[in-house]
């Protein structure tokens, strides 16, 4: 090799090294720049004026509402109409100012619709929602409650009883806020409807569905709807120390499929190579091994982008640079069952049935698989995909029960969302939460209004520590008095902030 060739090749190596260094520098600059852009706008939210809530009275009134056994049972025979009627009377007695200015009507005898006429007729109305019914207390667990579930107790800084979280704090919280505002002579600009269904816990078919039909028949359309479904969480997002207020902007859909395999049956001493149970099992395993692909978009992406600024540096950098870090981020998210459920249509095999006897081949074997559908997918897409994955004509796929498609995804760039966010921040001046939109795994009554609502949000103003979550549909349901006051404050501020056109 000549000297010149040697020189030019070492020059080439040098150029290559410089080139690589420049590329690394550029990438690092882009990564850091993007990360620095992901700032939490600590939102210059002006503090709200002090709100004078009658705390003792409000806590007692909520406790009183918990004493009505407005339970929704799967068995409609167990429905207790007198409890609902007594609750209606209780609301009227406890919120006289509100009942003076609100126009009230009942739908299907037990659901309540209130109308608060706004000052600006040109604006579309909004709706605040709650539900009066509660889930039953599981038989035999009454003794595990600190106070009997329907005693409605105020003690140790808490309001105790079935419905404290879900959802009488919503119903009573809305009315407390309206009662205060009515007393101040406040008039909303936009007409406000308030609806309290009576069968949310058993699908809303006589309550929310009937109310939605009524609005549709009258041509009433809502610009915004606010229902339960989100709250302020603590220690829910790993690495994030601040409280996070989650506002639900969409709900997953619901689909149950039954897989059926039929075969000849016979005695198990002379079996075929595959029994109906074996064929069916392979189909179920196939479904588990081929989950729906994860997608970081829509509500889930918005949530991560909003929470990211409070995350540790590396997570923040990854989320700010999805263009390069997407596979890593998706891997992290899907590694946790909770966040996994936010980014994909989930598959859960729940029931299996074969022969009734150990030595009899099954004539029919069935499996039930429940899917929670991510917005963007549809029940039809899921069914088609299931058939493709199973790829076995011996396995028949049919739907079981009611199918519900995922809800539309509501926008976050709206005056209502901004007013709600501002109210949440103002209601917690001492420990300001991060406010983030999110995707609800469960279903609320609000899904029944999608034909008459442009945007639907799901949020209730309390902070719920992880330890108190078990109260939802569980034992020892309770709400801290301070957190109930935060709920009332949030509704109160929201109605005011909406008038100011936040
Ligand atoms: Zn509820």
Choosing from 368, 399, 430, the residue where a domain stops is 399
Gap from CA of 98 to ligand 1 centroid (Å) = 23
Task: Give dist(CA 342, CA 211) in Å, integer.
Answer: 30
Q: How confident is the model at residue 39 (pLDDT cuts 50, 70, 90)?
A: confident
Task: Give dist(CA 165, CA 468) in Å, integer.
Answer: 9
**Do 363 and 493 belong to one domain?**
no
**Do 265 and 244 belong to one domain?**
no
* pLDDT at 6 > cutoff 80: no
Determine the pLDDT at residue 36: 81
Average pLDDT for 418-436? 93
Beta pairing partners, 436? 246
Q: How confident is the model at residue 402 (pLDDT cuts 50, 70, 90)?
A: confident
Q: So which residues are the catalytic ones?
A: 133, 200
* pLDDT at 307 > cutoff 80: yes
What is the overall mean pLDDT for the chain?
Answer: 93
Alpha-carbon Rg for the chain, nearest whole angstrom, is 27
Give one DSSP letter per residue of 388-447, joined into a string.
HHH--TTEEEEE-S--BPPPPPPPSSSHHHHHHHHHHHHT-TTSPPEEEEEEESS--GGG
Gap from CA of 166 to ligand 1 centroid (Å) = 5
425, two tokens: 């921040």
Gap from CA of 181 to ligand 1 centroid (Å) = 25
Confirm whether 37 is domain-assigned.
no
Task: Give dist(CA 155, CA 133) in Å, integer.
Answer: 23
62-112 per-position pLDDT tens digit: 999 999 999 999 888 999 999 999 999 999 999 999 999 999 999 999 999
Q: 3-state DSSP helix/strand/coil percent for the chain, to nearest 5?
A: 40, 20, 35
477, two tokens: 């349901």
The contacts of residue 300 (CB under 8 Å, 6+ apart) are 342, 343, 438, 439
Gap from CA of 304 to ligand 1 centroid (Å) = 25
Confirm whether 45 is domain-assigned.
no
Gap from CA of 442 to ligand 1 centroid (Å) = 10
Gap from CA of 163 to ligand 1 centroid (Å) = 9
Task: Give dist(CA 148, CA 302) in Å, integer.
Answer: 41
Average pLDDT for 231-248? 91
Q: How confident is the model at residue 40 (pLDDT cuts 50, 70, 90)?
A: low
Closest CA to 180 of 502, 498, 501, 485: 485
The contacts of residue 129 (CB under 8 Å, 6+ apart) are 170, 194, 195, 196, 197, 208, 225, 226, 227, 228, 445, 446
Gap from CA of 407 to ligand 1 centroid (Å) = 17
Beta pairing partners, 271? none
Choosing from 345, 378, 399, the residue where a domain stops is 399
Confirm whether 134 is domain-assigned.
yes
Task: Give dist(CA 86, CA 70) in Å, integer.
Answer: 9
**Do 371 and 428 belong to one domain?**
no
Determine the pLDDT at residue 188: 97
**Do 147 and 70 belong to one domain?**
yes
Reduced to 3 states (helix: H, G, I; strand: E, B; else coil), residue 1 is coil
Determine the pLDDT at residue 28: 86
Gap from CA of 243 to ligand 1 centroid (Å) = 22
Average pLDDT for 375-388? 97
Q: Please give the span between the terminal C-alpha atoms of the chain, in angstroms, as a whole number.
A: 76
* Domain with 333 in it: 252-399
Confirm whether 445 is domain-assigned.
yes
Gap from CA of 281 to ligand 1 centroid (Å) = 36
Number of domains in the chain: 2
Reduced to 3 states (helix: H, G, I; strand: E, B; else coil), residue 361 is strand
Q: Which residues of 335-360 are buried (b: 16+ CB within 10 A; e: fewer)?
A: eeeebebbbbbbbebeeeebbeeeee
Gap from CA of 448 to ligand 1 centroid (Å) = 14
**Do 215 and 342 belong to one domain?**
no
Gap from CA of 472 to ligand 1 centroid (Å) = 9
Choosing from 362, 382, 399, the residue where a domain stops is 399
**Do 174 and 323 belong to one domain?**
no
**Do 240 and 356 belong to one domain?**
no
Residue 453 DSSP code: E
Q: How confident is the model at residue 4 (pLDDT cuts 50, 70, 90)?
A: low
Q: What is the CATH number of the domain that holds 267?
A: 3.30.70.360
Confirm whether 369 is domain-assigned.
yes
Gap from CA of 461 to ligand 1 centroid (Å) = 14
326-335 per-position pLDDT tens digit: 999 999 899 9
228, two tokens: 């339960």
Question: Over pLDDT 70: what percentage of the chain?
Answer: 98
Confirm whether 2 is domain-assigned.
no
**Do 352 and 318 belong to one domain?**
yes
Determine the pLDDT at residue 1: 52
**Do 393 and 414 belong to one domain?**
no
Roughly what angle, to the nearest 10 degrees, separates helices 481-499 and 55-65?
100
**Do 377 and 480 belong to one domain?**
no
Determine the pLDDT at residue 265: 84
Average pLDDT for 356-364? 95
What ranges in 245-363 are assigned the alpha helix state H? 276-289, 298-307, 313-320, 322-334, 337-343
**Do 436 and 479 belong to one domain?**
yes
Task: Give dist(CA 252, CA 441) in Å, integer.
Answer: 6
* Residue 351 φ/ψ, nearest 5 degrees: -135, 145
- Cβ < 5 A residues, ion ligand 1: 166-167
Determine the pLDDT at residue 33: 82
Confirm whether 35 is domain-assigned.
no
Report the Cα 187 to chain-centroid distance in Å. Answer: 30
Confirm whether 477 is domain-assigned.
yes
Gap from CA of 153 to ligand 1 centroid (Å) = 20
**Do 359 and 490 belong to one domain?**
no
Q: What is the CATH number of the domain that holds 116?
A: 3.40.630.10
Burial category of 7 from C-beta neighbours within 10 Å (exposed 0-12, middle 13-18, buried 19 and up): exposed
Q: Are 200 and 102 in contact (CB under 8 A)?
A: no
């Amino acid at each position: 090799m000549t000297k010149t060739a040697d020189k030019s090749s070492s020059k080439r190596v040098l150029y290559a090294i410089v080139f690589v260094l420049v590329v690394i520098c550029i990438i690092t600059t882009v990564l850091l720049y993007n990360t620095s852009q992901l700032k939490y706008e600590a939102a210059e939210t002006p503090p709200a004026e002090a709100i004078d809530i009658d705390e003792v009275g409000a806590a007692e009134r909520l406790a009183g509402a918990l004493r009505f056994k407005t339970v929704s049972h799967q068995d409609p025979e167990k429905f207790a109409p007198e409890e609902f009627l007594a609750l209606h009377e209780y609301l009227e007695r406890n919120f006289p100012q509100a009942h003076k200015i609100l126009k009230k009507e009942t739908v299907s005898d037990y659901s309540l619709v209130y109308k608060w006429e706004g000052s600006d007729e040109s604006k579309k109305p909004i709706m605040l929602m709650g539900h009066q019914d509660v889930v039953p207390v599981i038989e035999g667990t009454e003794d595990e409650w600190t106070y009997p579930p329907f005693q409605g107790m105020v003690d140790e800084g808490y309001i105790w009883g079935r419905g404290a979280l879900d959802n009488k704090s919503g119903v009573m919280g809305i009315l407390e806020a309206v009662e205060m505002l009515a007393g101040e002579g406040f008039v909303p600009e936009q007409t406000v409807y308030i609806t309290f269904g009576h069968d949310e816990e058993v699908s809303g078919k006589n309550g929310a569905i009937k109310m939605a039909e009524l609005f549709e028949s009258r041509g009433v359309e809502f610009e915004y709807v606010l229902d339960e479904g989100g709250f302020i969480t603590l220690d829910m997002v790993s690495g994030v120390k601040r409280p996070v207020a989650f506002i639900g902007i969409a709900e997953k859909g619901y689909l149950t499929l039954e897989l059926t395999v039929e075969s000849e049956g016979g005695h198990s001493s002379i079996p075929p190579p595959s029994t109906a149970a074996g064929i069916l099992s392979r189909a179920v395993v196939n479904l588990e091994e081929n989950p729906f692909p994860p997608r970081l978009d829509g509500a889930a992406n918005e949530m991560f982008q909003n929470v990211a600024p409070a995350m540790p540096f590396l997570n923040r950098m990854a989320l700010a640079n999805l263009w390069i870090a997407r596979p890593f981020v998706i891997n992290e998210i899907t590694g946790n069952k909770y966040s996994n459920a936010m980014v994909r249509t989930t598959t859960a095999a729940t029931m299996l049935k074969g022969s009734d006897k150990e030595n009899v081949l099954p004539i029919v074997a069935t499996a039930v698989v429940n899917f929670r559908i991510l917005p963007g997918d549809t029940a039809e897409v899921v069914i088609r995909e299931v058939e493709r994955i199973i790829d076995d004509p011996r396995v028949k796929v049919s739907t079981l029960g009611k199918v519900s498609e995922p809800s539309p995804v509501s926008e976050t760039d709206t005056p209502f969302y901004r007013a709600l966010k501002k109210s949440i921040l103002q209601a917690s001046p001492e420990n300001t939460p991060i406010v983030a939109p999110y995707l609800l795994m469960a279903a609320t009554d609000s899904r029944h209004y999608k034909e008459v609502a442009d945007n639907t949000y799901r949020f209730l103003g309390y902070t719920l520590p992880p330890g108190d979550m078990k109260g939802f549909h569980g034992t020892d349901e309770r709400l801290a008095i301070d957190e109930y006051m935060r709920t009332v404050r949030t509704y109160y501020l929201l109605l005011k902030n909406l008038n100011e056109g936040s």
